[in-house]
């Protein structure tokens, strides 16, 4: 366990693949910058791989003060054991007080391994991070400026706030898209600190023989327009209306958890606390009641249009425009009107 170090930096694990930074790493750099400013400490980014030094400037532009660079030809492809050992050695050397990872498949594999080795706490799939003073109920001791790690629990039915008093560093994985990607500042200056780590050959017990990857079929985060369907769509067959409207307006197709659980559409389309967080220019919610779990994933959309047969549906409380009616009648009328205008 690393000792409590209130002057320690706020770190981000800068996930990259094939020499390309994952967007969540840049999102976390912006959030780390906000947290570090409250703590009056620098931001560090840990960059591990082979021939990845060229990525450091982007991390600095997005908020990092120090980039801790570990390069080794054996680290060209991600492997749990050597990557975990490299990050653990850096944490033991520099004692950061906060370490953030993206809640990606890689981050969900790496972060628990590091937490177990360091005997530190780790909160998974956070949707918000804050710095606040915390009064420990058992001892009545005031802990200044702790990291509040906010995440959905019990299937998204409640929101839990988790704090770590003494099992430092305070660590969390953060879901993609929940932190806004702040614009880069190319005038920022930072340091690239090359690091030497000891990686025994016994760590490389896995050999990569072949590698196959598929691009994402749905890019909800990058869509400027999203048409989303909920349980009110009624069936998988009725979802063709959602696809048709999305095609007419040039948007992506999203869904609520209720629609996914009902088998109307695949989970990759799910929006909300347990899905993807989106901020499109236009969000059209069709047959979505507006449960708090869904609203948390889309309420920052620039414009929200809601279609629901229930005039009391919670979605209308955040919608800029609301249509009370049966979506099976409303959507064909919308499609016809859009096509006529074109």
3-state secondary structure the chain: CECCCCCCCEEEECCEECCEECHHHHHHHHHHHHHHHHHCCCEEEEEEECCCHHHHHHHHHCCCCEEEEEECHHHCCCCHHHHHHHHHHHHHHHCCCEEEEECCHHHHHHHHHHHHHHCCCEEEEECEEEEEEEECCCCCCEEEEEEEEEEEECCCCEEEEECCCCCECEEEEECCCCCCCCCCCCCCCCEEEECCCCCCHHHCCCCCCCCCCCCCCCCCCCCCEEEEECHHHCCCCCHHHHHHHHHHHCCEEEECHHHHHCCCCCHHHEECCCCECCCCCEEEEECCCCCHHHHCCCCCCCEEEEEECCCCCHHHHCCCEEEECCHHHHHHHHHHHHHHHC
Domain spans, the chain: 10-204, 225-340
| 225-340 matches 10-204 in CATH topology | yes
Could you tell me the mean pLDDT of each successive run of 10 residues in the chain, 342 residues long?
Answer: 87 95 96 97 98 97 98 95 97 97 95 96 93 90 94 75 91 91 94 96 88 80 94 95 95 96 94 89 96 90 96 95 96 94 76
Per-residue pLDDT reduced to its tens digit, 222-270: 899 999 999 999 999 999 999 999 999 999 999 999 999 999 999 999 9
Per-residue pLDDT tens digits for 170-220: 999 998 888 989 999 999 999 999 999 999 999 998 888 888 877 777 889
CATH code assigned to 225-340: 3.40.50.1220
CATH fold, domain 10-204, is Rossmann fold (3.40.50)
- Give the pLDDT confidence score for residue 157 in this predicted structure: 67
């Amino acid at each position: 366990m690393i000792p409590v170090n209130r002057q320690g930096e706020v770190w981000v694990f800068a996930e990259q693949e094939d020499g390309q930074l994952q967007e969540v790493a840049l999102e976390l750099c912006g959030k780390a910058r906000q947290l570090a400013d409250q703590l009056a400490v620098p931001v560090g980014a840990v960059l591990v791989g082979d021939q990845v030094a060229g990525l450091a400037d982007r991390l600095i532009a997005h908020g990092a003060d120090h980039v801790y660079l570990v390069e080794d030809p054996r680290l060209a492809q991600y492997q749990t054991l050597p990557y975990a050992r490299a990050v653990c050695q850096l944490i033991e050397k520099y004692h950061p007080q906060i370490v953030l990872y993206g809640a990606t498949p890689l981050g969900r594999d790496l972060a628990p391994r590091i937490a177990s080795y360091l005997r530190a706490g780790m909160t998974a799939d956070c949707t918000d991070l804050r710095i606040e003073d915390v009064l420990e109920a058992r001892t009545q001791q005031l802990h200044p400026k702790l990291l509040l790690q906010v995440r959905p629990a019990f299937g998204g039915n409640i929101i839990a706030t988790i704090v770590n008093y003494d099992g430092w560093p305070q660590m969390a994985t953060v879901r993609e898209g929940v932190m806004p990607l702040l614009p880069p500042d190319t005038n920022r200056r930072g340091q690239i600190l090359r690091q030497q780590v000891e990686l025994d050959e016994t760590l490389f017990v896995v050999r990569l023989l072949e590698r196959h990857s598929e691009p994402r079929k749905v890019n909800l985060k990058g869509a400027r327009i999203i048409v989303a369907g909920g349980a009110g769509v009624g069936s998988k067959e009725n979802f063709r209306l959602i696809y048709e409207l999305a095609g007419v307006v040039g948007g992506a197709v999203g869904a609520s958890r209720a629609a996914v659980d009902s088998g109307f559409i695949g989970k990759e389309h799910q929006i909300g606390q347990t899905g993807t967080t989106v901020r499109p220019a236009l969000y059209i919610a069709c047959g979505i009641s507006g449960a708090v779990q869904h609203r948390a994933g889309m309420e920052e959309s620039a414009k929200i249009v809601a279609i629901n047969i229930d005039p009391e549906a919670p979605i209308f409380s955040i919608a800029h425009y609301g249509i009370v009616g049966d979506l099976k009648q409303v959507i064909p009328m919308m499609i016809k009107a859009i096509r006529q205008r074109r």
